[in-house]
Amino acid sequence: MELGKLIVFTGPSGVGKGTLLRAILEKYPELEISISATTRPPRQGEVNGKHYYFVSRDKFEAMAAAGELLEWAEYAGNYYGTPRTPVEEKIQLGKFVILEIELVGAREINKTFPNALRIFVLPPSLAELERRIRDRAQDSEDAIARRLDRAKIEIDAADEFDVQIINDDFDIALLNLEHAIFSPGIY
Ligand SMILES: Nc1nc2c(ncn2[C@@H]2O[C@H](COP(=O)(O)OP(=O)(O)O)[C@@H](O)[C@H]2O)c(=O)[nH]1
Ligand SMILES: Nc1ncnc2c1ncn2[C@@H]1O[C@H](COP(=O)(O)OP(=O)(O)O)[C@@H](O)[C@H]1O
């Protein structure tokens, strides 16, 4: 039986998902953010076991083959996946667990957790999205181009989600996220 709640949090790269999650976690430290495994190299300041579990492709493929991932996908040339056990254990303990994942993985979760709350974050415009990715100054030109191509596909799928939040004014987006998580009935 599901006691807690699984929350899928999706949106194009650079839209502000990580920033929104850091802010909501500060206000509600009892929320759990799942830590994914990835084959992407760490960015400056990223810590293994905190932001991601940084693993080799061989290790990732072994985890997927052993059924240790709740979902996984390839994104911009790297694998990303959700370790299964911590999520299942925390839901059993009644916790709210947030998965910050891309579209393919979000669709996969529909099958395993049909009751999950699915939230999609939209940028005010594609131009603003590109500006945010560039201002973050963390990705190569190639990685930025791949993220922008993927962004268009993801934005087209926003209607598949239960809630859409436009991250224009940050404080308003944060309030909308808070409402979606804690008062889902109003949507
Ligand atoms: N399917 C899936 N996607 C993930 C997972 N972890 C992260 N992602 C997504 O992978 C994409 C790339 O993440 P990242 O390289 O950190 O770049 P950023 O979103 O631009 O900061 C984002 O859309 C993340 O939401 C995961 O465990 N599974
Ligand atoms: N509402 C907002 N207005 C302007 N800039 C924002 C807003 N939300 C986030 N940002 C900035 O956009 C950039 C990308 O945010 P980030 O949280 O890394 O995105 P994501 O996790 O979705 O890839 C960061 O530099 C962040 O400070």
| Tens digit of each residue's pLDDT (9 = 90 or more) over 41-95 | 998 899 999 999 999 999 999 999 999 999 999 998 899 999 999 999 999 999 9
Strands (E), 26-145: 32-33, 37-38, 53-54, 69-75, 78-83, 96-100, 117-122
Q: 79: domain CATH number?
A: 3.40.50.300
Of 68, 75, 139, the residue with max ligand 1 atoms within 8 A of its CB, to mutate for a pocket test, comes to: 75
Strands (E), the chain: 5-10, 32-33, 37-38, 53-54, 69-75, 78-83, 96-100, 117-122, 163-166
Query: How many domains does the chain divide into?
Result: 1
Of 52, 63, 102, the residue with max ligand 1 atoms within 8 A of its CB, to mutate for a pocket test, comes to: 102
What is the position in ligand 2's atom list of the atom closest to the CA of 136? 25
Ligand 1 within 6 A of CB of 154? no
What is the position in ligand 2's atom list of the atom closest to the CA of 21? 17
Q: Which of 84, 85, 114, 101 minimizes the C-alpha distance to 5?
A: 114
Ligand 1 within 6 A of CB of 102? yes
Which residue, judged by its Cα, is nearest atom 26 of ligand 2? 16
Task: Examine the pLDDT at 2 and tell me if it is beyond 80.
Answer: no
Ligand 1 within 6 A of CB of 13? yes
The answer to whether the predicted template modeling score (pTM) of the entire model surpasses 0.90 is yes
Which residue, judged by its Cα, is nearest atom 24 of ligand 2? 136
- 144: how many CB neighbours lie within 10 A of its CB? 18
Residue 65: phi and psi, rounded to 5, are -65, -30
**How does pLDDT run across 114-152, given as a tens digit for each residue?**
999 999 999 999 999 999 988 887 778 888 888 899 999
Q: Which of 134, 135, 153 minimizes the C-alpha distance to 143?
A: 134
Ligand 2 within 6 A of CB of 30? no
- Write out the residue range of the structural domain in which residue 129 sits: 5-186
Task: Examine the pLDDT at 164 and tell me if it is beyond 70.
Answer: yes
